A and B are shown apart, each in its own frame.
Chain A
Amino acid sequence: QVQLVESGGGVVQPGGSLRLSCAASGFSFSSFGMHWVRQAPGKGLEWVSFIRYDESYKYYADSVKGRFTISRDTSKNTLYLQLDSLTAEDTAVYYCAKAHQYTFPDYWGQGTLVTVSS
């Protein structure tokens, strides 16, 4: 069965950086795109980024463009999200999600919490 396990969250100061990881199993990781979606405490879902299965396309929400970088390592079946220049508005649970063939998220991890605070 599909399993997605996020890690790397924690408390970071404003202006700091963090790298999130998402370990994938139970499917052919190299064949599917992947998403990052975040949810601020008590708020709704915000789509953050998508990477195509072959890394040929990477998309970002305007709110994170130029600060976050999505990548993947097929040899490790792992998705990454590099978070730089963090602000309090980036505080959220970050979910990774496998993309269906037609790009919508179909399986989600449990999420990892990022808290930006001094």
Chain B
Amino acid sequence: DIVMTQSPDSLAVSLGERATINCKSSQSVLYSSNNKNYLAWYQQKAGQPPKLLFYWASTRESGVPDRFSGSGSGTDFTLTISSLQVEDVAVYYCQQYYSTPHSFGQGTKLEIK
């Protein structure tokens, strides 16, 4: 099974500053036949279900603000918020869909400093 590990577990960033969340998989989620990373990012606000932000590690879902970006390949991935807004307070999860079980990272709680 692929284990997903996020860092840090929690993060406090000032409004307007950059927030960076890391996700590491225990084995590569890059599928060589199509050169795609089977990695998604989700945002979960308090009391709400998760919302898809990115798939293929860096393809932004429709409607997601462009201050959000996803990057990385193989086993190391990053979610970046370039200028933190109040509405970005949430827990963020990465998930691999390369193989079952489709494991999630433990989550990173993002707060305002």
Binding site for B on A (CB under 8 A): 35, 37, 44-47, 50, 59-62, 95, 100, 102-111
Contact = CB atoms under 8 A, between A and B. Distances in A.
Nearest to A57: B100
Contacts of A44: 91, 93, 104-107
A108 B51 contact: yes
Given A104-B55, A106-B61, A46 B104 contact: yes
Interface of B: 1, 38, 40, 42, 44, 49-52, 55, 61, 91, 93, 95, 97, 100-107
A50 B42 CA distance: 18
Nearest to A110: B49
A102 B98 CA distance: 10
Contact of B101 (A62, A100, A102, A103): A62
Contacts of B91: 44
Nearest to B103: A47
B95 A104 contact: yes
A46 B50 CA distance: 12
Nearest to B1: A62
Contacts of B100: 50, 59
Contacts of A35: 102
A108 B55 contact: no
A45 B93 contact: yes
Given A61-B101, A103-B102, A104-B40, A47 B49 contact: no
Contacts of B61: 106
A60 B55 CA distance: 22
Contacts of B95: 45, 47, 104-105
Contact of B50 (A59, A100, A103, A108): A108
Nearest to B55: A104
Contact of A47 (B52, B102, B107): B102
B75 to A, nearest CB: 18
A69 B89 CA distance: 35
Nearest to B6: A44
A60 B100 CA distance: 8
